[in-house]
Structure 1
Amino acid sequence: MLGQQITNGARIRGMFVFGSSLVDNGNNNFLKNSIAKADFLPYGIDFPSGPSGRFTNGKNVIDLLCDHLKLPLVPAFNDPSTQGRKIIHGVNYASGASGILDDTGSRAGNAISLNQQLRNFEEVTLPDLEAQMGFRRRELLPEFLFVVGTGGNDYSFNYFLRQSTANASLEVFTANLTKILSGRLQKLYRLGGRKFVLMAVNPIGCSPMVMASRPGRHGCIQVLNKAAHLFNAHLKSLVDVSKHHLPGSNFVFVNSYRIIRKIIRNPVPRGFKDTTSSCCEVMCLE
C-alpha cells in the first residue's frame, strides 16, 4: 500500500534521505568528536556486513524501502567513496542525534543538522548528479523519492533538556519546529523534488535510550510520547497543506508512531517477544 501511495504508477529512480538515527545508514561513522555512533557490535549483528553505522541490529527502514522499490541500498553522503556513479540512485544524508533545529545535535558532540544536510544535497550532490546523468536537476529530481525522518531529537535532546526552551510551551515549540520543517521542504521542492515521504516521530517515551536512563522503572515516559503525538498531528497537517500549495507534488505521511505503539502493546502476534529491552547499546545524553 505504501509503495502504491509513493509511486502512483510512476518510476522511482532512487531516493534522497534526510533525518536522524532512524534513517542514518552510516554518516556518523565519519564524524569526529561524536558519541552518536553505531559502528560496533552488537549493532549490525543481523546486517550482511556487520556494524555499518545503522542504529539497529539489521536493516533500517530506508533499506527496507529500497528493497520494496527494487533499488540498491542508498550510500551515505559522508563516505568518501560516495561520488560519481555511486550517487545515481540517491544519497543518504541523515545523521544520528540531529534534529530540525541546528543546535539539537550538540549534546552528542557533533551531528549534521537538517539544514546542513540540505546544503550538502544542494551544493555537493546536485552538481555531481547533473554531470553523471547528463540532465538538469528539474528533469531528474521528479523521479527521485525524498524521505525525511526527523523531529524526535528536538524534544529528547533539546526541548526537555535545555534551559533556553523552558519558557516556551510545548505547543509553541512544536509549531516552530513544523514551520522550520515546512521551509526545508519548500526548499527541496524549489530545487525540483516532487515525491516526498515524511516519517512520523516514533513513541520516543518508549525508546531504548529512555528505558536505559531509568533503571528499575517500568513503562514509557508519557510526556515524551505526548510531544511526539503533538508533532505528528502538526506533521500530518503539513502534509495535507503541502499537497495543495506545492503544485505537482506528492506527499505521503507514514504514521510509524501508531505502528510501533501497536507492536509494544501486543508484540507476540506481530513477531516480537521483548519490547522493553534494546537490541544494542544505547547512547545516554545526560
Structure 2
Amino acid sequence: MSILRKATTLQIMTMSQNLSLLCVFLIFSFTTPSTCQNTANHDCKTKGMFVFGSSLVDNGNNNFLTNSLAKADFSPYGVDFPLGPSGRFTNGENVIDILGKKLQLSDYIPSFTDPSTWGGKIVNGVNFASGGSGILDDTGALAGNVTSLNRQISNFEKVTLPELEQQFGNNNSKEILSDFLFVVGSGGNDYSLHYFLGLANSNVSLEAFTDSVTAILSAQLKRLHELGARKFVLMAINPNGCSPMALARVPTQEGCVENLNRASTMFNSNLKSLVDDIRPQMPGSNLVFVNAYKILSDVISSPRSYGFRDASNSCCEVRQVSEGGTGILCKRGGSICSNRSEYVFFDGLHPTQSVNDVIATKAFSSLIGDEVYPFNVDELSQI
C-alpha cells in the first residue's frame, strides 16, 4: 500500500506540473501577439508594417471617407482579390499585401479608417495610405476628401500608437517599433494633382518644387523617427508618363510623356539621396530606397521578358474625362480583359497584381543596387 500511495502521489504531482505548464502556455499564447510564421528562410524578426502614402499602397482607407472621389471599392477592382473590391486600386493584391506575405506576416495589414481596426487587429501594423493624397497637405483637393501624409502620421501618433502600447503591454514605443517596417509611398500626386495642375506658385520651377517637397518629406520621416520608427522603406514614384492615362492625354506623342517622367526621376533622385543624407540625423535608423521607377520602366520597355503582352493599355474600361471621369479609374461595373496577368496596367495609372508582384519581389530580394539601395527589404527586416 505504501508503494501504491507513493506512485499515486507521484502521478498526481506530475499531472499537476503538466497542468501548470499547460496553463502557462495558454496564458502566454493569448497575451503575446503573434504576427508571423517562422520558416527556414525567414526568422520573423519583423513584427509588421506601418504604411503611409497614396493609392499605390492604399488598401481601403478611402472607402470610409465621405465625399472622396478617389475610391476603388467597386467592381471590377478586386476581381482577383479574395475579398472582392476592397479599396485596393488594382485587380488583386497590391505591393504591400505581397511584401507582407514575403515577411511571413499572418494576415493583411488592416486599414486605419476601418472601424474594426483596433485591439488585436493592429499587432501586424496598420495601413494609413489614402488614394489621391500627397506629401503636401493640399495635394488631392480635387479628389475630395483624402488624408494627407501629415494627417496619416498624426493618426498613427494619436490613435494607433497608444493602442499598440496597450496591446504589447509596453509604454516604451521605441522598443516596440524597432521591429516594424515603416513603408512610405507618396509624392506622385504632388506632381499630377498639384504642380502640373497649376496649383503651385507659377514662379516655382520644377527643381525648386521638388526640393521643397523633399524637404517636407524629410521632416515627416524625422517625425516618425522621433515616435520610434527605425526601419524605413521609401518607394520611388512610378514612371507615370508611361501610364495609359498620360498616353491618352497626349495621343500624338510617341513614347512616354517626358515632362511627367522628368518630374518623377527628379524626385526619385532626391529620395535616393535622402537615404544617405538623413540617416545621421536619425540615430539607429536604416532606410531602403525601392526604385519602383526603374523596375516598372524595365517591365514596360521589355514586357515579354517579364511575361507581359500589353504595356500601354489599361485592362479595365476606364472612365474618360469626356465622360466625367479622370482617365484613371475603371468604370463602375465596366468590362475588363480576361488575360489580366498579361497586362502591365489595370486602370489608367495603377499596375496589375502581376506587376505588383514583380515590384514587391524585387524590393524584397533584389541584389541590384539600381533597384534597391543600399540593400533589400529582406536584409532590412533582419537588422
TM-score tier (shorter): over 0.9
Identify the match of residue 82 of structure 1 among 106, 113, 117: 117
> Does the residue aligned with 2:184 lie in a helix, a strand or coil?
strand
Q: CA deviation at 1:213?
A: 3.8
* Residue equivalent to 2:233: 197
Matched residue count: 279
| 1:122 and 2:157 correspond | yes
Counterpart AA for 1:30: F
1:69-218 maps to which residues of 2 (within 5 A)?
Answer: 69-71=103-105, 72-136=107-171, 137-214=173-250
Q: CA deviation at 1:204?
A: 1.2
Q: Which runs of 4+ in 1 moved over 4 A?
A: 214-218
* Residue equivalent to 2:53: 19
> Does the residue aligned with 1:277 lie in a helix, a strand or coil?
strand
Q: CA deviation at 1:279?
A: 2.7
CA distance, structure 1, for counterparts of residue 234 and residue 44 of structure 2: 19
CA distance, structure 2, for counterparts of residue 9 and residue 173 of structure 1: 42
Which stretches in structure 2 are left out of the alignment for 5+ residues? 1-41, 320-324, 329-383
Decide whether the 8 Å contact of 2:62 with 2:131 is kept in 1.
Answer: yes
CA distance, structure 1, for counterparts of residue 159 and residue 199 of structure 2: 36
Counterpart AA for 1:80: P
Q: Which has the larger radius of gyration?
A: 2
* Residue equivalent to 2:102: 68
Decide whether the 8 Å contact of 1:157 with 1:285 is kept in 2.
Answer: no
* Residue equivalent to 1:49: 83
State TM-score, norm by structure 1: 0.93
Q: Which deviations, in whole Å up to 9, do the C-alpha atoms of 1:49-94 show, x marking residues without a partner?
A: 1111000111000001001001121000010000111001100000
Counterpart AA for 2:206: L
State TM-score, norm by structure 2: 0.70
Counterpart AA for 1:192: G
Q: CA deviation at 1:216?
A: 6.8
CA distance, structure 1, for counterparts of residue 72 and residue 247 of structure 2: 18
Please identify, of 191-200 and 234-243, the stretch whose mean Cα deviation from structure 2 is larger.
Answer: 234-243
Q: CA deviation at 1:266?
A: 0.5
Counterpart AA for 1:70: Q
CA distance, structure 2, for counterparts of residue 271 and residue 259 of structure 1: 14
Q: CA deviation at 1:208?
A: 3.3
195 and 181 in structure 1: CA distance in 2 versus 1, 3 angstrom threshold = same
Q: CA deviation at 1:116?
A: 0.3
Which stretches in structure 1 are left out of the alignment for 5+ residues? 1-7
CA-atom RMSD in angstroms: 1.8
* Residue equivalent to 2:268: 232
Specify which structure has the bigger relative contact order, considering alpha-carbon pairs within 8 angstroms and separated by 6 or more residues.
1
Q: Which deviations, in whole Å up to 9, do the C-alpha atoms of 1:15-59 show, x marking residues without a partner?
A: 100000000000011111111111111111111111110001110
CA distance, structure 2, for counterparts of residue 28 and residue 163 of structure 1: 23
Decide whether the 8 Å contact of 1:47 with 1:58 is kept in 2.
Answer: yes
